[in-house]
């Protein structure tokens, strides 16, 4: 049954409010860093070279690669935006907004519309959720996909066996976006299936559809494996020899993951104050224990247990974004706690959370390094990269030039390379000179040399040594320009 018009209007209004921090200044404040540069370069090659990629870029575990699904999803947005990453970010933000309706639908199915409304309020106003939505990465689409997965998983838990293929399809799609998030959803599907009436309703049609749904998102990677003698499979089989990336299980890992979860929930709910989040978390866990026999609480308990325990077999421990599906589950649970509190207390706590999050919206009004969940202390936005490229071309004034880059972890060469490709060349009509190495002898005569760098507070000695080498090879600085933490010099 469709929701009443007033309910839909309230959700749309909250969605519109939530788009303000997600969209504000995105055309200039969008931050393009390591992964984002790799993604953009990969998408550019699909678009311009007409080549279909069957593999994404490598993860931080040797031999393990992301799937190509994210590249394929984002290619149309980059195409219509003529390569502008801002279009990709807007597309992801709109996808994220769609997930709000699935989140509300699950909350209403579990309990009532009031809980759904509180869930959407927490999501729409959250400083942390808005930061994730603005993060142009393969993590961001897992938020709406996780909302859809949650919706399908609850239908499966209710005994609707037709949702087994849909649950596996969304879990596999999330895995192809980011395996560190999606692979832990398979135990969730298994546990929910085993405790639901759906396990007695299997037939050949459902089994066939489930196998197909599970494999389909993985098929590009499987094809790559067949054509290249199974490099990813061999890496997965050898994962235990990959140091901290292996499989293990201990109390230390569990406690580490609990602290990571609480920290992330604080960022999403009551940053920078832990106390409101701790109160909601403990209250939510007590609620799950006391009302476990109620289908809604039983569903959430199984979801949390299956995901968290399977994640705790990962020896390294969770990085914050590994827990994306649990973010949504705890948002539902926190909303339910607020609804069940005495009315005055619940409204006061909700108002406190809104004020705290709204206060941090100021970070979205001006460029700030806290605009994305992962990065460094440096601030380099899309506007800064355009400013640097413009300054280089204006200074070169039609003459050939080359550039070298000093980058720190997570801010590597690809973002700068991409901005010369899509922004500099169309605007100024030519590309920088290709170089074979960090040596003046590799350059054609009369070629200008620009060096691009950023502060390195962690290893200033490396930056000093790099500057010394630049001066040795190309002479003293003749001109310079700074845009936030992006810096360039002409030598």
Q: What's the pLDDT tens digit per position in 192-244?
A: 999 999 999 999 999 999 999 999 998 888 887 777 776 666 666 665 555 55
361/444 same-domain check: no
346/427 same-domain check: no
Is the pLDDT at 344 greater than 90? The verdict is: yes
303/438 same-domain check: no
Q: State the residue range of the domain holding 310.
A: 5-365
State how far the Cα of 150 lies from the Cα of 185, in Å rounded to an integer.
10
Of the given ranges (142-146, 180-184, 296-300, 369-373), which has the lowest mean pLDDT? Answer: 369-373
- Report if residue 209 sits inside a domain: yes
**According to the model, what pLDDT value does residue 397 have?**
94
358/405 same-domain check: no
pLDDT > 90 fraction of the chain, expressed in percent and rounded: 65
**According to the model, what pLDDT value does residue 1 have?**
46
Query: Looking at the whole model, is its pTM more than 0.95?
Result: no
251/282 same-domain check: yes
Averaged pLDDT, 388-397: 96
Last residue of a domain, one of 311, 333, 365: 365
Scanning the structure block, which residue is given the tokens 């599907």?
189
> Do 17 and 124 meet the contact criterion of CB atoms below 8 Å apart?
yes
Last residue of a domain, one of 365, 400, 430: 365
**According to the model, what pLDDT value does residue 316 have?**
79
Is the pLDDT at 255 greater than 70? The verdict is: yes
Max CA-CA distance within the chain? 79
Query: What order do you get walking across the sheet with 401-405 strand by strand?
Result: 401-405, 448-453, 486-490, 479-483
- Report if residue 376 sits inside a domain: no
- Report if residue 375 sits inside a domain: no
358/392 same-domain check: no
- Report if residue 372 sits inside a domain: no
Is the pLDDT at 467 greater than 70? The verdict is: yes
DSSP states along 29-92: H----HHHHHHHHHHHHHHHH----S---B-SSTT-B--SHHHHHHHHHHHHTTT-HHHHHHHH
89/41 same-domain check: yes
- pLDDT tens-digit readout, 82-91: 999 999 999 9
Of the given ranges (114-128, 134-148, 234-248, 365-379), which has the lowest mean pLDDT? Answer: 234-248
355/430 same-domain check: no
State how far the Cα of 449 lies from the Cα of 477, in Å rounded to an integer.
10
- pLDDT tens-digit readout, 263-293: 999 999 999 999 999 999 999 999 999 999 9
Residue whose C-alpha is closest to residue 326's, from 431, 459, 169, 187: 187
- Report if residue 373 sits inside a domain: no
- Report if residue 238 sits inside a domain: yes
State how far the Cα of 282 lies from the Cα of 333, in Å rounded to an integer.
11
349/391 same-domain check: no
285/394 same-domain check: no
Q: How many domains does the chain have?
A: 2
Cα within 13 Å of Cα(66), Cβ side: 23
Of the given ranges (15-19, 226-230, 301-305, 318-322), which has the lowest mean pLDDT? Answer: 226-230
Burial of residue 32 (CB within 10 Å: 0-12, 13-18, 19+) is buried
State how far the Cα of 98 lies from the Cα of 92, in Å rounded to an integer.
10
- Report if residue 374 sits inside a domain: no
> Do 384 and 3 meet the contact criterion of CB atoms below 8 Å apart?
no
Is the pLDDT at 374 greater than 70? The verdict is: no
- Report if residue 370 sits inside a domain: no
435/345 same-domain check: no
Last residue of a domain, one of 340, 365, 390: 365
345/395 same-domain check: no
- Residue 216 structure tokens: 């389909």
């Amino acid at each position: 049954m469709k929701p009443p018009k007033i309910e839909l209007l309230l959700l749309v209004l909250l969605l519109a409010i939530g788009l303000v921090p997600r969209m504000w200044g995105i055309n200039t404040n969008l931050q393009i860093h390591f992964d984002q540069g790799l993604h953009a370069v990969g998408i550019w090659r699909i678009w311009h070279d007409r080549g279909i990629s069957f593999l994404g870029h490598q993860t931080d575990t040797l031999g393990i690669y992301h799937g190509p699904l994210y590249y394929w999803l984002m290619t149309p947005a980059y195409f219509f935006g003529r390569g502008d990453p801002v279009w990709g970010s807007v597309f992801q933000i709109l996808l994220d907004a769609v997930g709000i309706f699935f989140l509300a639908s699950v909350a209403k199915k579990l309990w009532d519309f009031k809980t759904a409304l509180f869930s959407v309020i927490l999501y729409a106003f959250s400083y942390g959720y808005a930061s994730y939505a603005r993060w142009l990465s393969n993590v961001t689409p897992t938020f709406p996909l996780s909302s859809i997965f949650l919706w399908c998983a609850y239908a499966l838990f209710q005994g609707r066996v037709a949702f087994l293929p849909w649950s596996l399809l969304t879990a596999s799609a999330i895995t192809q976006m980011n395996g560190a998030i999606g692979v832990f959803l398979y135990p969730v599907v298994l546990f929910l299936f085993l405790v639901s009436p759906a396990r007695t309703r299997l037939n050949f049609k459902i089994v066939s559809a489930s196998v197909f749904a599970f494999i389909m998102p993985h098929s590009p990677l499987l094809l790559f494996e067949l054509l290249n003698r199974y490099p990813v499979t061999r890496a997965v089989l050898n994962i235990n020899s990959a140091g901290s990336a292996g499989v293990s299980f201990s109390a230390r890992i569990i406690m580490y993951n609990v602290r990571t979860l609480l920290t992330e929930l604080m960022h999403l709910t009551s940053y920078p104050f832990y106390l409101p989040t701790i109160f909601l978390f403990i209250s939510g866990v007590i609620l799950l224990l006391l009302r476990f026999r109620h289908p809604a609480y039983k569903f959430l308990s199984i979801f949390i247990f299956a995901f968290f325990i399977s994640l705790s077999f990962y020896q390294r421990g969770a990085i914050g974004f590994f827990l994306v599906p649990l973010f949504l589950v705890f948002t539902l649970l926190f909303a339910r706690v607020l609804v069940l509190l005495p009315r005055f207390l619940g409204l006061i706590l909700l108002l406190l959370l809104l004020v705290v999050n709204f206060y941090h919206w100021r970070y979205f009004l001006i460029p700030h390094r806290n605009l994305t969940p992962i990065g460094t202390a440096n601030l380099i936005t899309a506007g800064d990269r355009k400013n640097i490229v413009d300054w280089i071309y204006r200074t070169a004034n039609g003459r050939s030039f080359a550039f070298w880059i000093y980058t720190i972890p997570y801010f590597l060469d690809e973002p700068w390379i991409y901005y010369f490709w899509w922004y500099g060349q169309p605007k100024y009509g030519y590309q920088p000179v290709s170089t074979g190495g960090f040596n003046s002898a590799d350059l054609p005569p009369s070629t200008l040399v620009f060096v691009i760098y950023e502060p390195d507070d962690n290893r200033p000695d490396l930056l000093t040594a790099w500057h010394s080498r630049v001066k040795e090879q190309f002479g003293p600085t003749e001109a310079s320009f700074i845009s936030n933490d992006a810096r360039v010099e002409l030598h």
